[in-house]
Amino acid sequence: NYYRINLSEAEKKHQDYKSIGDLFIRRLKGGIRPVGVAACVHPADSRLTTFGPVEGDTLLQAKGRTYSLPEFVQDPHAINKWRGGFFATYYLCPTDYHRVHSPVKGEVTKVTVVPGALWPVNSWSVNAITNLFAINERVLVEMKTLYGSVLVVLVGATNVGKMSLSFDPEICSNQGGAVRTKEYHPPVHLEKGEELGTFHMGSTVVVLYSPEFVRNFDFTKKDPNEVVKVNAS
């Protein structure tokens, strides 16, 4: 009741969950979230907080605050790879369903787990802490699609150090140590809307679309729900 969770959408009745943690990572009933027909869809129940073109070596965190793109994705070649692309940032609050879904149909080629801090990602922190998303713990899922590369980044936060991936039970954050990278040969296929991973509470998802992907679509509309194919053929 405190978080206004819509239990009518949950896969089970509330008394069938073993713990609060079990309830937080609940699945939804089948058909509750029909997948949109566009080539890319939103990855989670969440609030879209920032979005826009990738124009330089930083991404917009909040008004007056940015964070380093190369540090965020742990790639010194990030500017050449993603400049001219598009990014979108989604915030999950405790009310939300906490599973993340693939925004596109594609192949997972690489996953990188980056240990880091667990600052909160609420409005105060996002507006006050510079480079927040590049210093917090995160899991980066790189995908190839027919239209170009897409990167889905799960960002940890206070009480959300644990993030897991649905397609690979060996990948789990909050383990400490060094940056860990795993490449997939063959790659792992995910359908658009298929479950990708889980926050074991709630946090932030950042999706990066490559310039190749953006050239196939119209990302100039003010409403990202209206992203459309440039050439319908």
Length of the chain: 233
Residue 218 annotated to the active site: no
Selecting among 149, 164, 203, 210, the annotated active-site residue is 203
120 touches 78 (CB < 8 A): no
d(CA 118, CA 52): 25
Selecting among 42, 98, 101, 200, the annotated active-site residue is 101
Residue 203 annotated to the active site: yes
d(CA 214, CA 83): 11
Residue 45 annotated to the active site: yes
Per-residue CA distances from 106 to 79, 148, 183, 194, 218 (Å): 22, 9, 15, 11, 20
d(CA 225, CA 162): 30
Which of 152, 73, 138 has its CA nearest to residue 105?
152
Selecting among 42, 45, 46, 102, the annotated active-site residue is 45
d(CA 125, CA 122): 5
Tokens of 169: 């039970």
Q: Catalytic site residues?
A: 45, 101, 203
